[in-house]
Amino acid sequence: MSFVGIDVGGTKCHGVRVDEHGAVLEEIRYPTPHASELVDLLESMFHELSGTQTLGVGVPGLITPDGIVRASPNMKGAHNIAVGPELRSRLGISVHVENDATMAAYGEWKAGAASGAMNAVIVTLGTGIGGGIVMGGQLQRGANGFAGEIGHMVVQHNGELCVCGRRGCWERYASGSALRMLSGGMSGEEVFAAAESGDEVARSVVATFADWVAVGLASLTNICDPEVIVIGGGVVQSFEFVLESVSKSFSAALYSSESRPHPALHIAALGERAGAIGCALFMTQG
């Protein structure tokens, strides 16, 4: 038996068909359209992958339990888009729509770097910052399905303007777009490569970025007390270089650091497939 999952990102929609263990049998990618055309693309991708009677979809933003996208700051035109109801009507199958980072967290928890953990936080560092929280062996969704919007923790009062309309959100300082801002326009890969080659300006940028990542991780640890934190998203393709700096800054930022066990910090194992795999595996629950 196989399962289909589709992860909607800021630039691409990534679909996979997996077996019950999460092994990828087939995958496809298409550019992310305007929100008004999203359901059409998802329907088409499902038929292309085919062979199943369920569909899991991850979409960035605030997603209601019935699959309505209430708001998605990083996706154009996404406001009250009935993705779940429309897909269920068109396809006549079981469809579940969830926040994309929550589904990436589910994938890493079930088949990746957080496998076996009872308490874990998964952080996705991409254009913005998303996340998922596992506590007591349960994926946390909150009262309205909106839990895990960790990128919008305010870490700097009256700080940088965020795409959500507020100021000082964590994702303005510790995401891929933040790294581009700190470096004056360089990509994460370029910054890390320059820092590794000894460029002092790049090293300074990486140190500042690592501090900001650590600030958020420390706050999440103070709240959730996880045994493991998994760091995923597009930024982690070169994250091995900065992980040591993040670990040191994290230890310094954590409350009562010397008196408590520290969570293990792991880089995501599923890479860019985490969200799509998580969406598909979520449907194996029955």
Q: Is 255 exposed, middle or buried (0-12, 13-18, 19+ CB in 10 A)?
A: exposed
Residue 250 or 60, more confident? 250
Q: Judge whether 221 and 263 are in contact, CB under 8 Å.
A: yes
Does residue 65 carry a pLDDT above 80?
A: yes
Separation of alpha carbons 164 and 209, rounded Å: 21
Tell me the residue range of the domain where 153 lies: 117-268
Interacting residues of 91 by C-beta distance below 8 A, sequence separation 6+: 43, 46, 55
263 and 280 share one domain: no
264 and 277 share one domain: no
- Measured at the alpha carbon of residue 77, what is the angle toward residues 73 and 78, in degrees to the nearest 5? 60
How many other C-beta atoms can be found within 10 angstroms of the C-beta atom of residue 244?
11
Place of tokens 């930022």: 253
215 and 253 share one domain: yes
Query: Is the CA virtual torsion 90, 93, 98, 100 positive or negative?
Result: negative
Query: Is the CA virtual torsion 215, 218, 224, 227 positive or negative?
Result: positive
Separation of alpha carbons 125 and 178, rounded Å: 10
Q: Is 43 exposed, middle or buried (0-12, 13-18, 19+ CB in 10 A)?
A: middle
Q: Looking at residue 17, which CATH number applies to its domain?
A: 3.30.420.40
pLDDT per residue over 196-248, tens digit each?
Answer: 999 999 999 999 999 999 999 999 999 999 999 999 987 877 778 889 899 99
Q: Give the pTM.
A: 0.90
Q: How many structural domains is the chain composed of? A: 2
Q: What is the pLDDT of residue 286?
A: 59
198 and 121 share one domain: yes
262 and 132 share one domain: yes
123 and 257 share one domain: yes
Separation of alpha carbons 149 and 166, rounded Å: 14
35 and 121 share one domain: no
204 and 223 share one domain: yes
78 and 133 share one domain: no
Residue 192 or 279, more confident? 279
155 and 25 share one domain: no
Q: What is the pLDDT of residue 210?
A: 95
Does residue 135 carry a pLDDT above 70?
A: yes
Separation of alpha carbons 56 and 93, rounded Å: 11
pLDDT per residue over 81-92, tens digit each?
Answer: 999 999 999 999
82 and 149 share one domain: no
92 and 204 share one domain: no
Q: In whole angstroms, how far apart are CA 188 and each of 9, 42, 240? A: 18, 29, 12
